Chain A
Amino acid sequence: MGRRVFITGLGLIAPHGEDPESVFDRIYQGDSAVRMVRSGTVDFGSDLPLATADFTPKDRIPKTQQLFMARASQMAVVAAEGALQSSGLFGVGQEGPEDGEIGVYMGCGLGGAEILQEGYRTYFVRQSRRGRPSTVPMIMASGPASHISMRFGLHGPTHTYSIACASSTVAIGEAFRAIRDGYLDTALSGGAEAMLNDGSIAAWERLGVLASSHTDGPEASSRPFDLERTGFVLGEGAALLVLEAESALQERAVDPIAEIIGYGVSSDAFSLTEPHAAGQEAAMRSAITDADIEREEVQYVNAHATGTPSGDPIEIEAIKSIFEDHASNLAVSSTKSVHGHLVGASGALETAISAIALQKGRIPPTANLTHPDPSCDLDCVPEYGREAPELTVAISNSFAFGGSNATLVLRKV
């Protein structure tokens, strides 16, 4: 057994806003942040449901730094500041602690998508080879992690995991392991994703995985486990967690939000886009073993469930396979029903939601689940959140294109 690892701070730039408490409350109420958005131009565009974040850095990042930061990096830096402040580690304008190294472990799927788009526009549309010189450092998937390190003077490892939809769950898992195993005491970990530029969206549309608007309105478009689901709603944002070793916590008065107790990963080795129950089951099993708990101790699953017709039943199958008789006791919800799919930032946002759920003893619902799919026949917490004062252990799943699966296990403090 290694050292215990606690979540001591949260910072969000989410479709529901920036304050973690109120973001959670809206998610718990099943209040959708999905809106109909025009992507592209009037003539050459598309209207589709998206979960955008109402974000501009304003004066929270110096103007000259903003110039060289893609939207994902800007979101990451502001969310990181929120996480550091809420952990009490240090506040605005303060340098990081001089003694000890803080690591940055980030997940990001694409990087500076809108900057890449602009570069291609210059090349192909303007037929010019003279794009912005800063294009290269701005499109890197590692940009968000690098900017967090530079902005707050953090000298520990600065790692980026780019594993599609599992990116930030793996990032948090790897930070958890590094702290548990004694490689560092403190890490900022999470994810950032901002690829709601029209070029990226057009590609996603062609893949045929995005939700169309529901007859009840765009707010009802994301419908995991529901018979009327048509795909997922793309979102954007950043979610950052401060992770600390128990020993670091003892040195200052801080109330942790939750404890991370296990992490498991697996690879399907199966398909670029199709999910695979065996691989998902392996990740959950590995995480529960890593947490050194009985599977019957798990009470809540924050599912990956994105709302695609093929994906949701596979996850239910995997959950049944590992939990067997206990599966019917589980609450399994997909909060993507209200915040959409943040891809590389999704796992971090859902880990944050799971941590607050444990802290508050409240299980968030799967909103829009009005016509349950018989192939998703577990307790998927339809429509309404649930008071659960006895809630102690939760898991959060992220399953990626490419067949990478990751699960985190969290415990109430």
Chain B
Amino acid sequence: MRAYPYLAEVLADKYDVDEDKIRPEATLADLGLDSLMVVEFLFDVEDEFDIEVPDDRAEFETLDEAATLIDELIEAKGD
């Protein structure tokens, strides 16, 4: 799980999400992110890890699912 700590950190720092609410099973909607914020959040993640989340794979629900997807993409990139 390389991505999860970064996701948690950026949600708390940039998106001002209450740290107590940031749990693997939480969805971005649960955390108060609207559609523009979700797109921006994915951009942050892509920028951080130098990956691209394909549109057809951006359908994750929970933070845990998002972190798993991002880990796969990092791995596929071969770093």
Q: Which residues of A contact B (CB under 8 A)?
A: 62-64, 67-68, 130, 132-134, 137
- Residue in chain A with minimal CB distance to B39: A133
Which chain A residues lie closer than 8 Å to B36 at the CB level?
A: 68, 133-134, 137
- Residue in chain B with minimal CB distance to A66: B16
Q: Which of B21-72 contact A (CB under 8 A)?
A: 32, 36-37, 39-40, 42-43, 46-47, 52
Q: How far is the CA of A395 from the CA of B6 in the complex (A)?
A: 57
Beta-carbon contact of B16 and A134 below 8 Å = no
Q: How far is the CA of A204 from the CA of B34 in the complex (A)?
A: 37
- Residue in chain B with minimal CB distance to A132: B43
Beta-carbon contact of B15 and A134 below 8 Å = no
**How many Å from the CB of B75 to the closest CB on chain A?**
20
Cβ contacts A to B, 20 pairs, < 8 Å:
A62-B16, A63-B14, A63-B16, A64-B15, A64-B16, A64-B32, A64-B37, A67-B14, A67-B15, A67-B40, A68-B37, A68-B40, A130-B46, A130-B47, A132-B43, A133-B36, A133-B39, A134-B39, A134-B40, A137-B36
- Residue in chain B with minimal CB distance to A131: B43
Q: Which residues of B contact A (CB under 8 A)?
A: 14-16, 32, 36-37, 39-40, 42-43, 46-47, 52
Total A-B pairs, Cβ < 8 A = 30
Which chain B residues lie closer than 8 Å to A68 at the CB level?
A: 36-37, 40
A-B pairs with lowest CB-CB distance, top 8:
A133-B39, A63-B16, A64-B16, A134-B40, A133-B43, A133-B40, A64-B15, A132-B43
Which chain A residues lie closer than 8 Å to B47 at the CB level?
A: 130
- Residue in chain A with minimal CB distance to B38: A133
- Residue in chain B with minimal CB distance to A65: B16
Beta-carbon contact of A130 and B52 below 8 Å = yes
Which chain A residues lie closer than 8 Å to B14 at the CB level?
A: 63, 67
Q: How far is the CA of A357 from the CA of B15 in the complex (A)?
A: 43
Q: How far is the CA of A134 from the CA of B42 in the complex (A)?
A: 12
**How many Å from the CB of B1 to the closest CB on chain A?**
25
Which chain A residues lie closer than 8 Å to B42 at the CB level?
A: 133
Which chain A residues lie closer than 8 Å to B32 at the CB level?
A: 64
Q: How far is the CA of A325 from the CA of B77 in the complex (A)?
A: 79
Which chain B residues lie closer than 8 Å to A67 at the CB level?
A: 14-15, 37, 40
Which chain A residues lie closer than 8 Å to B43 at the CB level?
A: 130, 132-133
**How many Å from the CB of B48 to the closest CB on chain A?**
13
**How many Å from the CB of A37 to the closest CB on chain B?**
29
Q: How far is the CA of A62 from the CA of B37 in the complex (A)?
A: 14
Q: How far is the CA of A219 from the CA of B54 in the complex (A)?
A: 53
Which chain A residues lie closer than 8 Å to B39 at the CB level?
A: 133-134
- Residue in chain A with minimal CB distance to B47: A130
Beta-carbon contact of B16 and A132 below 8 Å = no
- Residue in chain A with minimal CB distance to B33: A64
Q: How far is the CA of A403 from the CA of B79 in the complex (A)?
A: 58
With a 10 A CB-CB cut-off, give which of A62, A133, A137 has the most chain B CB atoms.
A133
- Residue in chain A with minimal CB distance to B43: A133
Q: How far is the CA of A264 from the CA of B63 in the complex (A)?
A: 57
Which chain B residues lie closer than 8 Å to A137 at the CB level?
A: 36
- Residue in chain A with minimal CB distance to B16: A63
Which chain A residues lie closer than 8 Å to B16 at the CB level?
A: 62-64
**How many Å from the CB of B52 to the closest CB on chain A?**
7
Extra 18 A-B pairs, beta carbons < 8 Å, given A63-B14, A130-B43, A133-B39: A63-B15, A64-B15, A64-B16, A64-B32, A64-B37, A67-B14, A67-B37, A68-B36, A68-B37, A68-B40, A130-B47, A130-B52, A132-B43, A133-B42, A133-B43, A134-B36, A134-B40, A137-B36
